[in-house]
Amino acid sequence: MQSGTRAKRQSAWHMLASEFSEATLNEKGSGEYDPSFVITKLGAKVNRVVVAGLLERLEVRETSNGSTLYQGQMRDPSGLHYFSVGDYASESMRELTMSLVEKTEVGEPVLLLMVAKSRWYQTDEGAVYTSLRPEEACEIDAQRYALWLTRACEDTLQRMKNYSDSLAAEPTREGLVAAGIPEHMIDGLLVSRNHYGDIDVETYTLNVMQALDIAEGRMDAASQPVAAPSQTELPGDAAPSGAESNDDEVKDTLVSIIEQLDQGDGVDFETVLTNAVARGFDRGLAEEKLDELSNEGTLHEPRFGWFRIVG
Amino acid sequence: MSEKYETHVKSILSECPDADPEEVAAAFEKYETEFFIPPQDAMRSILRRFKGDKTPTPSSGSSGGSSAAPRNTRKVSSLSELKGDDKDIEIEVEIISHNIRDQTIRGEQKQIAFGLLEDNPWEENGQKNRWEYKDWGPNSNITPGSVVRIEGASVNEYQGKMSLNINQSTRIAVVREGTRPITAPGEPQDIDSLPSDGYVCVVGRILASRPDQIHRKDGSGSIDIVRGRLADESGTIGFLSWEPLEHEVGTLLKIEGAQVRTFRDTPELNFGRTTKIEIYHDKNFSDADTLSQQTVLTLSELRDGARDVDAVVQITEWTKRSFTRDGEERFLWSGQIADPTGRCRMSAWSELPITEDKLPITVRLKGVRVRAWQGIPDITVDNADQVEFLDAPPWDSDLDLTTHTAEVELFELSTGASRVGVSTSATVVSVREDSGFIQRCTECRRVLRDGACAEHGPNDGNADIRLRLAIDDGRSSVSLLTNKQATLSLLGMTESELQDTVNDLGQVAFVQSLRGKMLGRTIKASGRTIVDEQGAMMLADGAAMVDEDAGLRATEIRAQWKVA
């Protein structure tokens, strides 16, 4: 009974950046005021999130129609969130944003917590980007950040469990209900499984472990000596793509894309490239590497333009 | 400076050769100790700081702009306008039937849907055409009885017969929700899963039945009706028969073509001339005693408009009031009642043997009805024989129900009935800009907007204090309003301190300061809830932020989820 003109407020998910930024599926209801959702690999149907992290960048941009847009990125242990604050935002949100621009300009560290709406868009090449529109936000101290981390971890673990429980169940609403999947996860899990295929949840486990280390104040355990800033990052709308990625990373990604999507006949050229671009790689570079993988004998082409992994 | 950040510092220096290594290392330490940001995550921020403004701004264009190619959709109002090779058409139709079947397409198991649709859905007796359709989506929002706008379908012609193909890219907009029965006629449905309106078939046992009268509003007489209650193993529902109904309590009936109508918040079955009622035989069907257990409700389950309710409650206050109707003095007894799930009010139209010194007193109520006043359920007792006095409550008798609040999960509050005497904990996800000082209408206590009441127009208003928050548990969101006393105790301020703070900061910065204190944190609030179609609202007379220890929580989570 979802009729009626005024929709109920959508609930908010506590979520690490990796889960949100890896999402490439969205859903928009048919009605004008129907909410839109980004659906993550773990099946969270996200309209609103509570997220936190280090404000890493915040810049003003003048758009072509003369309005002002602030674009920012916020880092948590798992990755980055991209967000924007425009003229549509509330007065209080804009005032806060302006004060934060000043702080980032002088290099003052800011821990931010925001309640934000999920946004989704797809480029002409088919690459999918998620981003956030904060509704309300505030600066927090390390203790509150740690507390947010614990909540995000707990909820992520819960979703991972729901996800793995759902794998054994019949992929229908009734099947998931019978498997004990909570109601608010069912719709998302049904479509996410269809869209993403088999996913690797290992990285989420690592994210959670690292975040818990931080929350417990075990900073040494959470620190990594290797200093390659671009490595854990998933480029979004503000990140340059391609240039910083090393060749092996492109190849690994291409292979994993083909592994995931191959239903037996191989995966077509366009699908492989679209997915590579969606993961932040330059299309030209990906095309080049796809050739190399074929020449090396890692891939073969059972039909022209269709790729499979040899072996 | 320690060697701890050696690799990170080197990496920064390679980009900014002029930077002081000590300063860079100090920056890493600051991020780590003060902000819990490990060095690998602080890299970019620190790099930006030492590079100054030299960082190139990324060149990628700004977002926005939909990528969908413009469609050339042809809009028609009647199926007869379509030709066999039409593609990308738009039409509004009513879905007559909808069936799902599994089909193997290119080696893959896939569900497709098919059925009949009918054009010209809005004209009651107009010319209508029916076509078959196939939905390759299949779209979940196509349901029988609904009127939908199909955008981007194509026509299929096979051996002179036309049908409509709905593809995965076709957009389906539901214009009117289905009102027809979804199940085939004659197929009984469980009572607890009946729709809130429409015609249904049920099999159930009569738990209560009594003649009643409805008085015509124009005073031209009255109509004899029968009211009662019907139950199956899934639940119970009240009924109203406009035709004589002589079956006794306990009789098992099959009722076809009963109409469900929702009176206040409570669905009810209506039997009319076209309803077919017959005695049904099923030896395994539960008897009336077993079924009537289901009608015993707790106060947390009361819904406005419910009838034939049984409950065990404690009466904590009881007073007699008098009023005059038609020049005659009449009496009404009313008071507060409670059970372990909450509190509400009760009214009685006849005198009960209750005196002040006997309170609190526990009673079993039978066949009473429920009305709600401003969201608070009020049990109405029409006859004294509906009340049976018990010697002791069936719950822990040490429980003081006058002060007891039931702790309830937010999700349960948001999906249940309106309740009094409850408390809950959840995350603050919004502090509304109109939190703080407000002016209320002198007539109705509504909050004034720009010095005017929506109902009573401009007035001076009475000053009040409240916070308007949204709280959330990840599954449901509830609007939380804290009253003056709860607000002041939550903020730890007196009224004049609060006034000074708002004057100093201004309203916008004041609200922002509240967000700084509350956003993302857990709040515990107690009071009452009002739940309706627009969502749930909690009116709190008590609220406090919950202090939590992140380190402890993290360790608990590790143990609970077995993450090393």
Is B221 in the same domain as B196?
Answer: yes
* Residue B283 and residue B321 share a domain: no
pLDDT for position A241: 39
A220 Cβ contact list (under 8 Å, min separation 6): none
Q: How far is A296 from chain B (nearest CA, A)?
A: 32
Which residues of chain B are within 8 Å of residue A139 when distances are taken between CB atoms? 516
pLDDT at residue B536 tops 90: yes
CA-to-CA distance for B376 and B417, rounded, in angstroms? 10
* Spatial CB neighbours of A259, under 8 Å, sequence gap ≥ 6: A309
Lowest model confidence (mean pLDDT) among A19-28, A234-243, B149-158 = A234-243
CB spacing of B473 vs A11 below 8 angstroms: yes
* β-strand partners of B215: B222
Which of B141, B162, B164 is closest to B154 using CA atoms? B164
Give the whole-angstrom CA distance, residue A171 versus residue A194.
Answer: 9
Residue contacts between A and B (CB atoms, under 8 Å): 223
Are residues B416 and B542 located together in one domain of the fold? yes
Tokens linked to B511: 């609200």
For residues B450 and B510, membership in a common domain is answered with yes
Token pair recorded at residue B446: 């509504």
Distance from CA of A295 to the nearest CA of B (A): 31
- pLDDT tens digit string along A63-117? 777 788 999 999 999 999 999 999 889 989 999 999 999 998 888 899 999 999 9
Residue in chain B closest to A4 (alpha carbons) equals: B533
CB nearest B45 (choices: A54, A139, A140): A54
Q: Give dist(CA B135, CA B142) in Å, integer.
A: 9
* % chain B with pLDDT above 90: 32
A102 touches chain B (CB under 8 A): no
Q: What is the percentage of chain B residues whose pLDDT exceeds 70?
A: 93
Identify the pLDDT of residue A212. 94
For chain B, the domain total comes to: 5
Six token digits for residue A262: 């191959």
Residue B261 domain-assigned? yes
- Which residues on chain B are in Cβ contact (under 8 Å) with A71? 62
To 5 degrees, how large is the angle CA B37–CA B39–CA B42?
65
Q: How far is CA B59 from CA A104, A241, B65, B282, in A?
A: 20, 10, 17, 75
Residues B331, B255 within the same domain: no
pLDDT surpassing 80 at residue A51:
yes
Query: B58-70 as b/e, with b when 16 or more CB fall inside 10 Å?
Result: eeeeebeeeeeee
Q: CA Rg, chain B, in Å?
A: 32
Q: Are A83 and A49 in contact (CB under 8 A)?
A: no
Which strands, in side-by-side order, build the sheet including A267-268? Answer: A267-268, A306-309, A299-303
Q: Is the pLDDT of residue B370 over 70?
A: yes
Q: List chain A domain ranges.
A: 1-239, 247-309
Number of CB atoms found within 10 A of residue B369's CB: 17
- Is the minimum CB–CB distance between A169 and chain B shorter than 8 Å? no
The pLDDT value given to residue A165: 93
Say if the Cβ atoms of B58 and A153 lie within 8 Å.
no
- Provide the pLDDT confidence category of residue A25 given band limits of 50, 70 and 90: very high
B93 plus B138 within the same structural domain: yes
Probe site for chain B from A1, A5, A8, A9 (most B CB atoms < 10 A):
A9
Using CB atoms, which residue from A92, A123, A142 is nearest to B67? A123
Q: Is A174 helix (H, G, I), strand (E, B) or coil?
A: helix
B215 in a domain, yes or no?
yes
| Burial track A177-209 (b if 16+ CB lie within 10 A, e otherwise) | eebebeebbbbbbbbbbeebeebebeebbebbb
CA-nearest of B233, B231, B268 to B250 is: B231
* Strand B406-407 relative to strand B420-431, pairing: parallel
Q: Per CATH, is A247-309 categorized as 1.10.10?
A: yes
Chain B residues closer than 8 Å to A208 by CB: 563
The CA-based diameter of chain B, rounded to the nearest angstrom, is: 99
**Side chain identity, residue B374:** Q
- Residue A246's pLDDT is 62
Domain boundary residue, one of B146, B176, B206: B176
Sequence-distant (≥ 6) Cβ neighbours of residue A2 within 8 angstroms: none
Structural domain includes residue B401: no
Residues B351 and B329 in one domain: yes
Q: How confident is the model at residue A249 (pLDDT cuts 50, 70, 90)?
A: confident
B275-284 pLDDT tens trace: 889 899 888 8
CB contact under 8 A, B535 and A8: yes
Distance of CA B541 to the CA centre of its chain: 22
Residue B66 lies inside a defined structural domain of this protein:
no
Q: CB distance B511–A137 less than 8 Å?
A: no
User: How many angstroms separate the CA of residue A252 from the nearest CA in chain B?
Assistant: 23
Contact of B551 with A149, CB cutoff 8 Å: no
Q: What DSSP character marks residue B76?
A: -
Given a cut of 60, whether residue B62 has pLDDT beyond it is no
Once rounded to an integer, what is the mean pLDDT over residues B447-473?
Answer: 91
Nearest by CB to B519, from A84, A109, A136: name it: A136
Q: The CATH number of the domain where B209 resides is what?
A: 2.40.50.140
| Strand partners for B230 | B206, B237
| Per-residue three-class SS string for A153-202 | HHHHHHHHHHHHHHHCCCCCHHHHHHCCCCHHHHHHHHHHHHHHCCCCCH
Contacts of A138 in chain B (CB under 8 A): 512, 515-516, 519-520
Distance CA B530, CA A173 (A): 30
Is the model's pLDDT at A244 over the cut of 60? no
Q: What residue spans of B431-529 are helical by DSSP H?
A: 484-491, 495-505, 507-518
* The CA-based dihedral angle spanning residues B381, B383, B385, B387, taken in that order and rounded to the nearest 10 degrees: 20
- Same domain for B146 and B277, yes or no, is no
**B374 inside domain:** yes
Q: Domain ends where: B361, B389, B417? A: B389
Residue A254 has pLDDT above 90, yes or no: no
Structural domain boundaries enclosing B146? 74-176
**Is B551's CB within 8 Å of A216's CB?**
yes
Residue B558 resides in a domain: no
- For B27, half-sphere exposure in the C-beta direction (CA atoms, 13 angstrom radius) is 23
- Min Cα distance B119 → chain A (Å) is 20
Phi and psi, residue B279, nearest 5°: -70, 140
| Beta-strand pair B235-241/B266-271 | parallel
Radius of gyration of chain A (CA): 20
Under a CB-based contact definition with an 8 Å cutoff, are residues B196 and B267 in contact? yes
**Cα–Cα distance measured from residue A184 to residue A218, given in angstroms and rounded to the nearest whole number:** 34
Domain edge (last residue) among B277, B295, B313? B295
A180-194, A275-289, B214-228, B346-360: which has the highest mean pLDDT?
A180-194
With contacts defined as CB-CB under 8 Å, which chain B residues touch A137? 515, 519
Torsion sign across C-alpha atoms B428, B430, B436, B442: negative
Residue B541, SS3 per DSSP: strand
Task: State the DSSP string of A7-51.
Answer: PPPPPEEE--HHHHHT--EEEE-SSTT--EEEE-TT--EESEEEE
Q: How many CB atoms lie within 10 A of CB B296?
A: 14
Which residues on B lie below 8 Å from A123 (Cβ)? Answer: 67
In the prediction, which pLDDT does B303 show?
85
Structure tokens at B378: 């009020």
- In a domain, residue B319? The reply is yes
**What distance in Å separates the CA atoms of residue B340 and residue B391, rounded to the nearest whole number?**
17
Question: Is the pLDDT higher at A62 or at B246?
Answer: B246
pLDDT digits (tens, 9 = 90+) for A267-288: 888 778 877 777 777 777 888 8
Confidence of residue B474 (pLDDT cuts 50, 70, 90): very high
d(C-alpha B229, C-alpha B245), whole Å: 12
Contact B62 A71 (CB under 8 A): yes
User: What is residue A231's predicted lDDT score, i.e. its pLDDT?
Assistant: 40
Q: Are residues B280 and B222 in the same domain?
A: yes
Residue A58: closest CA among A238, A203, A249? A238
Amino acid at B317: E
Query: What is the ipTM metric for this complex?
Result: 0.74
Q: Does domain A1-239 have CATH number 2.40.50.140?
A: yes
| Domain identity same for B244 and B269 | yes
pLDDT score of A40: 96
CA distances to A175, A203, B179, B265 from B413, rounded to whole Å, are 27, 36, 29, 16
Strand B462-472 to strand B457-458: parallel, antiparallel, or no bridges (unpaired)? Answer: unpaired
Judgement on whether residues B453 and B368 belong to the same structural domain of the protein: no
A109 vs B31: CB contact, 8 Å cut-off? yes
At B426, is the secondary structure helix, strand, or coil? strand
DSSP state of B299: G
- On whether both B511 and B419 belong to a single domain, the answer is yes
Q: What average pLDDT does this structure show over B372-398?
A: 85
For chain B, give the mean pLDDT: 85
Report the gap between the CA of B302 and the closest CA in chain A (Å).
21
Please give the torsion angle defined by the CA atoms of residues B489, B495, B499 and B500, in that order, rounded to the nearest 10 degrees: -80
- A197 in contact with B at a CB cutoff of 8 Å? no
Is the Cβ of A262 closer than 8 Å to some Cβ of chain B?
A: no
Q: Do A84 and B479 touch (CB under 8 A)?
A: no
Shortest CA gap B86–chain A (Å): 23
Nearest-neighbour CA in chain B from A292: distance (Å): 27
Q: Which residues of A touch B433 (CB under 8 A)?
A: 90-92
**For residues B557 and A156, is the Cβ–Cβ distance under 8 A?**
no
